[in-house]
Amino acid sequence: MSKKHNLNSASNYLAGIFLMLFVLSSAKIFCQNETKKDTVNFIYYLDKIMVRANLSSQTDSYFLNNKKGTNLDLETNNSYKLFLSIDYKFIGFSYGFYPNFFGGNNDEDLKGKSSFSDYNFRFFLGRWIQTAQFSKAKGYYVANMTDFLPDWEEGKDPYIQFPDFKTLQYEMSTSYLFNPKFSLKSITSFTEWQKKSSGSFIPSLIYSYNRITSKAENLNGKQKEFDIRLATAYYYNFIIHKNFYVAPHLAPSIGVKFLNDKSSSSGVETVEKETYFTKNLRVD
């Protein structure tokens, strides 16, 4: 049995587990009285399993620059990502993949085939929040073909493909919620409901390890990145109605990136080590 078949079987198996849990939790909700605890600031949904499915059209991409100043825009060939999540009390888990049962891309002969998997764990320990994530993507194509071939025609000519271009990411974060009257769970896991408008600073220490590997004819490359970032996010939950809210947040961050790049071309190996200061601003 091929590795590709094993991966597809594992994805289908996990999807089946989530669908079964969804059916069971839905039956529990409709067949039993709702168990909840109502306080001044929050409603706690005790002994309830929250199951969600999110569909995203986001595409993974990488921009590579060479010494001549030409950008190489690499993207995965996917129409959708499906994320299945399950949350219970202080713990949560989500699994993301490309949903083949929605129908495969009809342009794989031009762009090639891509694979993706994502695993995310969340732990709420009082005011402390700990997350752990692993994601993997493989199979990229060159999106900016006209920068290299001016006569290239979209939808007719094939893209340059890198089927063995693979990215791995291991990321963890440790966060602290300052305001005890603000519920982050009401936004992320829905195991609580906030009754009054409130906000909170939630600083986070984020640390991640990324590895990019590529294989082509007479060219092999491996890039390792280690990132440390400090984010000072602020969340606010506007309770407009007892059943409706808006929850924007702002998260500026600064950090440092350590990069180690090793490549081999025609038997010649080169090694590059760099350190970068990074900054980012996320608004949702």
Q: What is the pLDDT of residues 230-248, one digit of tens each?
A: 999 999 999 998 788 898 9
Question: Higher pLDDT residue, 284 or 229?
Answer: 229
Contact 74, 162 (CB under 8 A): yes
What is the rounded distance in angstroms from the CA atom of residue 176 to the CA atom of residue 206?
A: 12
User: Average pLDDT, stretch 270-275?
Assistant: 88
pTM: 0.80
What is the rounded distance in angstroms from the CA atom of residue 157 to the CA atom of residue 146?
A: 11
User: Average pLDDT, stretch 14-36?
Assistant: 46
Q: Does the pLDDT value for residue 17 go beyond 60?
A: no
Contact 96, 116 (CB under 8 A): yes
Render the burial of 239-275: b for 16+ CB within 10 Å, e for the rest. Answer: beeeeebebebebebebebeeeeeeeeeeeeeeeeee
User: Average pLDDT, stretch 211-230?
Assistant: 86
Q: Grade residue 103 by pLDDT with cuts at 50, 70 and 90.
A: low
What is the rounded distance in angstroms from the CA atom of residue 144 to the CA atom of residue 28?
A: 51
Render the burial of 130-142: b for 16+ CB within 10 Å, e for the rest. Answer: ebebebbbbbbbb
What is the rounded distance in angstroms from the CA atom of residue 50 to the CA atom of residue 64?
A: 40
Chain center to CA of 219: 29
Question: Higher pLDDT residue, 102 or 33?
Answer: 102
